[in-house]
Amino acid sequence: MKKSEEDLLTELSKVHHQMPRWVLVLIASMALVVFASHTAGLLVLLLISGIFAYLFSSLINRIEYFGIKRTVAVAALYGVALLLFTAAEFLILPCLKNETAHLSAQLPDITRQAEAAFSGLKGYPFTEELIDRILEGIARPGHMLSTTLNSSEVFSQAASLTFAMILIPFFVFFILRDWPAMLKAFLRRLPAAYVETAIAALAEINILAGRYLRGLAIDCFSIACIASFGLWALGVGYPFTLGIMTGAANVIPYLGPIVSCAAASLIAFIQFKSAGAVINVLMLYTAIRLIDDFVVQPLTIGRSVRLHPMLLIISIIAGQRLFGIMGMVLAVPTVTILQKVVQILLDHRQRMRTRTAAATHIQKIIV
Amino acid sequence: MKKLFRWAFDRNKDDRLSILRQVGLCKGLSRNVLMKLLVDLVEKEYQQGDLIFAEGDTGKALYIILNGSVSIVKRCGNEDKVLATLSAGSFFGELALIDQVPRFASATAMEKTTLLIMYKSYFDDLIKANNAMSSRLLLNIVELLTAYVRKNHAAYRCDRDE
């Protein structure tokens, strides 16, 4: 090695030793952000896989309680899931496919009908601009469907969807199977002084995220069933599609229920062309909201999420700006968990101050 | 039937299960409950001399020794007094499960030691389940605390008689 190179290495090692830890953390964080921005699609896939793995992890643990190997438990879960998908393909999906196909075919017609139905209201003050916006909103998906159908965009979207449908189960399988080993490896490398804090954070995250995600899944399913049945009883078209949409939109606090209620009201208005039908749908959605707030949510999500309403709205908007719909869905549990983790870390900092003195004395005994 | 599906069962956990059976806290718990504890609880390996927790720390977890040994040390003025040396099948830090008061003594690994760690919020969840297992666990803890009280009472009487 040349002398100049040796000098350079010595200088670099000096810089490394002089560099404060926070600078290294900052550089590492920036590198991580750059990496994340370039691989956002893959990260979203990993995040979705993580959520699915988390939802099923307690079931896998329960199978393990009987002494069954984790790999066998995960393989059995995949077998059952395959059977359920096959059953759904024959029993539920045909009905849903019919509804969505019919809705897609009817979309241009619905736009025309909505234009005709709203035209009577155009004379009133402040309504003209609002009606134009609503009509634009209805026309846009119809326009998009008619222009992108059979184009290369559809193929690329279908390809990425197929890619996701292959990758997600693949990731879920390995996360489910290897999570205990990953946790063990992480704890093995963790210094003894940080173990209680790390386990405290993991336990709190597990309890909060578990209660929230599992509760939310049951909540959405219940709301989808109630909405489908209610809309079917009122005679509103596409009850299953709208019901599933209501259940899925329910994951976004405040905004989701409003959007799904607006969509169902619009379909009812176009179908029956009367304010009475819209009032019926509004009453149904108010009843669903009350049932959700006072019966379903206390039983499922409980009081796991204790965020101030203002912080809740800010986190949803920030989530949407950063990661789109996925960000809106995950904003609430993420902020709740962050709140708890910061509290645990502050506790840890306090504890470490009292601990240093005790550690010195104990070392003397061992040596 | 069980022989036919032997390949599906995890035999590696059997050794740990037999150690867990010896733990006073787990007395009377069924095999399934012990398996639950083995699956759910976090396992951590400590090296010789590692401080597991220090006197004065806010206690938040109970530790079960799967292998190795742990020394429990109390500071008395300027001196350090070894209260006990615990081996596989023992446990310590149980008071942290009842209330989060500062640790009474310090715990240090005397050799390469593997511990099973039960965090307070996990224990609270077990108790909230309000079933036979939670009653058994509570009863075991009450028995342990009763033993401490009797032991201390006897020591107090001996001191007074002297």
Three-state SS letters, A317-337: HHHHHHHHHHHHHHHHHHHHH
**Are A298 and A219 within 8 A, CB to CB?**
no
CB contact (8 A) between residue A68 and residue B60: no
- What is the pLDDT, as a whole number, of residue A138? 59
Judge if A322 and A182 occupy the same domain.
no
- Please state, in angstroms and as integers, the Cα–Cα distance from residue B13 to each residue in A106, A179, A202, B10, following that order: 60, 17, 23, 6
CA B160 to chain A, closest CA, distance in angstroms equals 32
pLDDT at residue A281 is higher than 60: yes
Judge if A175 and A208 occupy the same domain.
no
Residue A366 confidence class, pLDDT cut points 50, 70, 90: very low
Residue B115 confidence class, pLDDT cut points 50, 70, 90: very high
Residue A302's H or E segment, with its range, is: none
**Domains held by chain A: number:** 2
Residue A73 confidence class, pLDDT cut points 50, 70, 90: very high
Residue with more model confidence, A112 or A266: A266
Phi, psi of A126 (to 5 degrees): 65, -10
Walk me through the domains of chain B, giving residue ranges and CATH numbers: 6-161 (2.60.120.10)
Which three-class secondary structure state does DSSP give residue A19? coil
The yes/no answer to whether this complex scores an ipTM above 0.95 is no
Judge if A183 and A52 occupy the same domain.
yes
- What is the pLDDT, as a whole number, of residue A303? 58
**Which amino acid is it at A1?**
M
pLDDT at residue B5 is higher than 80: no
Written as six digits, the tokens of A285 are 């959605």
Q: Does B75 touch chain A (CB under 8 A)?
A: yes
**Separation CA A349–CA A194 (nearest Å):** 10
- What is the pLDDT, as a whole number, of residue A171? 92
Region A68-80 average pLDDT: 93
Region A25-32 average pLDDT: 79
Residue A145 confidence class, pLDDT cut points 50, 70, 90: very low
pLDDT at residue A363 is higher than 60: no
pLDDT at residue A17 is higher than 70: no
Which of A132, A163, A189 represents a domain boundary (last residue)?
A189
pLDDT at residue A148 is higher than 50: no
Residues in B touching A359 (Cβ below 8 Å): 51, 54
pLDDT at residue A113 is higher than 90: no
pLDDT at residue A21 is higher than 50: yes
Place of tokens 């912080």: A311
Q: H-type helices in chain A, by residue range?
A: 3-18, 21-38, 40-64, 70-91, 93-119, 127-148, 152-189, 195-234, 239-249, 255-272, 275-291, 297-300, 309-366
pLDDT at residue A211 is higher than 50: yes
Contacts 24+ apart (CB under 8 A), A224-232: A224/A248, A224/A250, A226/A288, A226/A291, A227/A260, A227/A264, A227/A284, A227/A285, A227/A288, A230/A284, A230/A287, A230/A288, A231/A264, A231/A281, A231/A284
Query: Does A141 reside within a domain?
Result: no
Which of A142, A173, A189 represents a domain boundary (last residue)?
A189
Query: Does A215 reside within a domain?
Result: yes
**Separation CA A272–CA A237 (nearest Å):** 10
CA B80 to chain A, closest CA, distance in angstroms equals 8
Judge if A194 and A341 occupy the same domain.
yes
What is the per-residue pLDDT across B43-79, written as a single tens digit (0 to 9) for each? 888 989 888 988 888 788 899 999 999 999 988 877 8
CA B90 to chain A, closest CA, distance in angstroms equals 19
Written as six digits, the tokens of A257 are 């229920």
Q: Does B82 touch chain A (CB under 8 A)?
A: yes
CA B146 to chain A, closest CA, distance in angstroms equals 27
Residue with more model confidence, A12 or A60: A60
Nearest chain B residue to A204, by CA: B121
Chosen for mutation from A65, A207, A208 (greatest number of chain B CBs closer than 10 Å) is A65
Q: Which of A5-14, A264-273, A275-284, B18-27 has the lowest mean pLDDT?
A: A5-14
Write the DSSP assignment of A74-132 as a string of letters: HHHHHHHHHHHHHHHHHHTHHHHHHHHHHHHHHHHHHHHHHHHHHHTTTTSTTHHHHHH
Longest dimension (CA), chain B: 67
pLDDT at residue A357 is higher than 60: no
Q: Which domain holds residue A89?
A: 44-108+154-189
Neighbouring C-beta atoms of residue A342, cutoff 10 Å: 11
Judge if A168 and A218 occupy the same domain.
no
- pLDDT more than 70, % of chain A: 74
Please measure the distance between the N-terminal and C-terminal CA atoms of chain B and give it in whole angstroms.
66
CB contact (8 A) between residue A359 and residue B55: no
What is the per-residue pLDDT across A172-196, written as a single tens digit (0 to 9) for each? 999 999 988 888 888 888 887 788 8
CB contact (8 A) between residue A204 and residue B121: yes
Judge if A185 and A233 occupy the same domain.
no
Written as six digits, the tokens of A31 are 């590198």
- CA A71 centroid distance within chain: 26
Q: Are strands B51-53 and B106-109 parallel, antiparallel or unpaired?
A: antiparallel
**Are B62 and B93 within 8 A, CB to CB?**
yes
Mean pLDDT of chain A: 77
CB contact (8 A) between residue A351 and residue B125: no
pLDDT at residue A146 is higher than 50: no
Spell out the SS3 assignment of chain B: CCCCCHHHECCCHHHHHHHHHHCHHHCCCCHHHHHHHHHHCEEEEECCCCEEECCCCECCEEEEEEECEEEEEEEECCEEEEEEEEECCCEECCHHHHCCCECCCEEEECCCEEEEEEEHHHHHHHHHCCCHHHHHHHHHHHHHHHHHHHHHHHHHHHHHHC
Judge if A235 and A215 occupy the same domain.
yes
Query: Does A37 reside within a domain?
Result: no
Q: Are strands B113-119 and B61-67 parallel, antiparallel or unpaired?
A: antiparallel
Judge if A182 and A197 occupy the same domain.
no
Place of tokens 């946790």: A183
Judge if A194 and A250 occupy the same domain.
yes
Residue A250 is given by DSSP the state T
**Separation CA B24–CA B144 (nearest Å):** 8
Query: Does A171 reside within a domain?
Result: yes
CA A306 to chain B, closest CA, distance in angstroms equals 17
Find the CB nearest B119 among A61, A203, A361: A203
Neighbouring C-beta atoms of residue B1, cutoff 10 Å: 4
Residue with more model confidence, A7 or A260: A260
Torsion of CA A314, A320, A323, A327, to 10 degrees: 70
Residues in A touching B58 (Cβ below 8 Å): 347, 351
Which of A143, A165, A189 represents a domain boundary (last residue)?
A189
Instruction: Tell me which residues of chain A have a C-beta less than 8 Å from any C-beta of chain B.
Output: 61, 64-70, 72, 180, 183-184, 187-188, 190, 192-193, 195-196, 199-200, 202-204, 207, 347, 351, 354-355, 358-359, 361-367
